[in-house]
Structure 1
Amino acid sequence: MTSRNYLGGGKCIVYLIIPCYNEEAVLPETSGIFLEKILTLVKNGKISDESRILFVNDGSKDKTWEIIKNLSSSDRHFIGISQSRNRGHQNAVLAGLMEAKDKCDVAISVDCDGQDDINAVDEMIEKYTAGAEIVYGVRSARKTDTFFKRTTAEGFYKVLRWMGAETVYNHADYRLVSSRVLKEFANFKEVNLFLRGLFPLVGFKSAIVYYERHERIAGESHYPLNKMLGLAWNGITSLSVKPLHLIIGLGLLVSALSFVAVIWSVVMQLLGKTVAGWASTTSIIAFLGGVQLLSIGVIGEYVGKIYMEVKHRPRYIISERAGDF
């Protein structure tokens, strides 16, 4: 058992960080679940009554922010911040974590839709009390996923591992992070965020809590296939340069094949067996052109990321706050 010095004196101050984007259908339902969990932990003496539920409005176009403001007026455990515009899930989580890092002992990020089992928080806090600085929520199974989503998601983690990126298999953004880690994490200035790959880079002692993911309580998912693919590609290019190494390998392979083809052409010419044909010529040109365009595209992706990073634009801008901070 590790001895801890808590901001709340003898008890741990916990902040639930909940990113919200157009969640007016589900927020009235899940907010009660989050509050019940906090109050139960307070009643059982597990956490301080200064713990909070921090909603991060990510530029919602519906009544999400109005609901958050009403919740903050109804109970002091609810607080909220609103971004000036939609900046994406990862930046919304980051905004909440950075807002909470000086006010809490631990921050737990969890999605608003109620799919992540909130009861896993109890075990996360136990792991933290035992000495872990980061506790990853990991899905024990993917029973609620379609075959396509399950296959692509599991394949994504395997590809990341193969690319040399350090991630926790089947972990998304349900995690506990201590204020100590958050203060070190604040030194990471990446604009292209992939949080599930960045936190392992911070280091410190970590642990895993397994849980089952449920069906969404209400509303529709705001993470369609194109966004998931975008997140996957961003994760690969943000954490690994192996795609560039693969281009080098592909270039060497194509060069070797081309060299063999040149020798073959010379031999055929000397033997007088050359046959004029446009099919073979156009096929070779098309193949080489495709390889070159693919390589330029991958390199361009990395150059584009460098371009965004050197601008040093803010990753989030908070326009409003609600509740007792």
Structure 2
Amino acid sequence: MVLMNVSNSLPVLCIVIPCYNEEAVLPITSGLFLGELADLVEEKLVSDESRILFVDDGSNDATWKLIRSLAESNVHYTGISLSRNRGHQNALLAGLMEAREFCDISISIDCDGQDDVRAMKDMVIAYHDGCDVVYGVRSSRKADSLFKRTSAEGFYKLLNKMGVEAVFNHADYRLLSKRVLEEFSHFEEVNLFLRGMVPLVGFRSSSVYYERHERIAGESHYPLKKMVALALNGITSLSTKPIRIITMLGFFISILSLIGVIWAFVVLLMGKSVAGWASMVSLVCFMGGIQMLSLGIIGEYVGKIYMETKHRPRYIISERTSTKF
């Protein structure tokens, strides 16, 4: 009789962590991730072959040096380094695709320590209950400033209004099963917005709620400017609703213009026409503004089509801490 190793029946977990200039926080949070992984292994929720995968997104500080040092100190740490900075979404995708080769489940989380690592246990339990996707969702934003809370909630509401299927108050803290990763690997677009793309894959999903904390150390890499850019990228990458809004706006303005022409013709026939400089200037400025805005939105879509047709690689891995996981 052949005895089966119990650890082999447990899923291999890969915790994927994108890093960009995180030398201040990495020495602190790496221990938190390892401690949580050890707890999951001890409770026999995941295999001891599970790993923590750091993805260095072209940092210009000592981040990659720290990742290599961690990998040398403990077998559960591993890492890859991208050839240049490609942005958070591309770095996260690189880690997920790397993890796909050896793991049964992945959990993506930021390096800053704001996301509660203890939520991983509930995610893995949901996976054992049959879920292929488990979203980490913030239970509240009490710790945020009024401006941050308002802008963040407005960000998710705008995405939903524009037709992007995104989970409210969910960023990139989530569990994905191997079969989701396999299906996700067929998504080949260059313009990435993962929190809007993952729901498109489907499969059974659930949510785990947690409290988000202040950043442990270092500085945030997502100021308002990047949040706006992320929202714009998400909308234009996953929805054509802005184009439809332009069409409807154009139709509405055309109706108003037709009414205006009829009114002007009637006034002319009645002999009551008076030169209206102010109204003419206002009309020209309004129409000019609408046209420039419309061209800008259309330009965003044309630019994305241009980038997609090039089929450039979304990331390039320049170095690994080990050749085999």
Paired with 1:275 and 1:180, the residues of 2 have a C-alpha distance of: 71
Alignment-derived partner of residue 285 in structure 1 = 284
- Contact 1:57/1:80, CA 8 A, preserved across alignment: yes
Matches within 5 A, 1:90-239: 90-239=89-238
Residue 322 and residue 156 in structure 1: after superposition, are their counterparts in 2 closer, same or farther (change >3 A)?
A: same
Alignment-derived partner of residue 73 in structure 1 = 72
Alignment-derived partner of residue 21 in structure 2 = 22
Paired with 1:33 and 1:231, the residues of 2 have a C-alpha distance of: 28
Q: How many residues align?
A: 320
Paired with 1:37 and 1:272, the residues of 2 have a C-alpha distance of: 84
Paired with 1:44 and 1:244, the residues of 2 have a C-alpha distance of: 51
Paired with 1:156 and 1:221, the residues of 2 have a C-alpha distance of: 17
Using the TM superposition, give the Cα deviation of residue 82 of structure 1 relative to its aligned residue in structure 2, in angstroms: 0.2
Paired with 2:268 and 2:109, the residues of 1 have a C-alpha distance of: 68
Using the TM superposition, give the Cα deviation of residue 286 of structure 1 relative to its aligned residue in structure 2, in angstroms: 1.2
Alignment-derived partner of residue 256 in structure 1 = 255
TM-score, normalization: structure 2? 0.96
| Structure 2, gaps ≥5 residues long | none
Paired with 1:301 and 1:182, the residues of 2 have a C-alpha distance of: 29
Amino acid aligned to 1:27:
L
Amino acid aligned to 2:273:
T
Paired with 1:137 and 1:113, the residues of 2 have a C-alpha distance of: 16
SS in 1 for 2:172: strand
Paired with 1:127 and 1:277, the residues of 2 have a C-alpha distance of: 68
For residues 32-51 of structure 1, the C-alpha deviation after alignment (integer angstroms, 9 at most, x for no partner) is: 10111111211222211100
Paired with 2:120 and 2:186, the residues of 1 have a C-alpha distance of: 27
For residues 127-173 of structure 1, the C-alpha deviation after alignment (integer angstroms, 9 at most, x for no partner) is: 00000000000000011211112112112212222222211111100
Paired with 1:169 and 1:303, the residues of 2 have a C-alpha distance of: 29
Amino acid aligned to 1:281:
M
Paired with 1:285 and 1:232, the residues of 2 have a C-alpha distance of: 31
- Contact 1:69/1:322, CA 8 A, preserved across alignment: yes
For residues 95-140 of structure 1, the C-alpha deviation after alignment (integer angstroms, 9 at most, x for no partner) is: 0000011200100000000000000000000000000000000000
Amino acid aligned to 2:244:
H
Correspondence 1:270 to 2:274: no
Paired with 2:241 and 2:50, the residues of 1 have a C-alpha distance of: 42
What is the aligned-residue identity percentage? 63
Correspondence 1:39 to 2:38: yes
Paired with 2:231 and 2:148, the residues of 1 have a C-alpha distance of: 13
Moved more, 103-112 or 259-268: 259-268
For residues 228-285 of structure 1, the C-alpha deviation after alignment (integer angstroms, 9 at most, x for no partner) is: 1100111111111000000011101111111111111111111111111322211111
TM-score, normalization: structure 1? 0.96
| Structure 1, gaps ≥5 residues long | 1-5
Paired with 2:126 and 2:200, the residues of 1 have a C-alpha distance of: 20
Amino acid aligned to 2:28:
E
